[in-house]
């Protein structure tokens, strides 16, 4: 199992709720959410807007061509009993992604503390250690 959380991504007057994978291997210099093309379409970001910068990300599977919209949106975690603070993010659009990915930096600013990747357990850092949340199913 992995840790997935429900996120709301806001971009201008559009919003979309997604299930996103917390990916500790997705190292970034800024809070980033990597999204598939179909999510980018829902947010009005496909085809990529003029402000999107084409880039190549080095991944375990080899080079990946992406488009980055710096500060392009706001995200927050949605749970059954609370919402996280809102965080401004860089939106990264990948034509190969099949689900949204949360970068290490974004997980940090959203205060997501993974307790057990194998069991899919997490909590917010400010919650008691006994308050374990289960991964959301895709």
How many domains are contained in the chain?
1
In this predicted structure, what is the pLDDT of residue 130?
Answer: 96
Average of per-residue pLDDT across 45-65: 95
In this predicted structure, what is the pLDDT of residue 27?
Answer: 96
Q: What is the pLDDT of residues 63-119, one digit of tens each?
A: 999 999 999 999 999 999 999 999 999 999 999 999 999 999 999 999 999 999 999
**Burial letters for 63-93: b for 16+ Cβ neighbours within 10 Å, e otherwise?**
ebebbbbeebbebebeeeeeebeebebbbbb
Contact (CB, 8 A) for 97 and 35: yes
What is the CATH number for 110? 2.40.70.10
In this predicted structure, what is the pLDDT of residue 127?
Answer: 98
Percent of the chain with pLDDT over 90: 96
106: containing domain: 4-134
In this predicted structure, what is the pLDDT of residue 17?
Answer: 98
In this predicted structure, what is the pLDDT of residue 138?
Answer: 87
Scanning the structure block, which residue is given the tokens 């829902």? 42
Mean pLDDT of the chain: 97
- pLDDT surpasses 90 at 1: no
Number of CB atoms found within 10 A of residue 60's CB: 6
């Amino acid at each position: 199992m992995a840790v997935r959380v429900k996120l709301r991504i806001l971009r201008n007057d559009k919003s979309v709720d997604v299930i996103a994978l917390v990916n500790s291997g997705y190292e970034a210099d800024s809070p980033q959410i990597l999204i598939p093309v179909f999510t980018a379409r829902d947010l009005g970001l496909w085809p990529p807007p003029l402000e999107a910068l084409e880039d190549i990300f080095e991944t375990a599977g080899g080079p990946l061509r992406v488009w980055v919209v710096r500060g392009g949106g706001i995200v927050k975690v949605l749970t059954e009993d609370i919402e996280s603070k809102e965080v401004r993010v860089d939106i990264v659009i990948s034509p190969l992604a099949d689900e949204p990915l949360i970068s290490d930096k974004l997980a940090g600013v959203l205060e997501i503390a993974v307790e057990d990747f194998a069991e899919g357990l997490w909590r917010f850092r400010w919650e008691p250690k006994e308050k374990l949340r289960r991964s959301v199913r895709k």
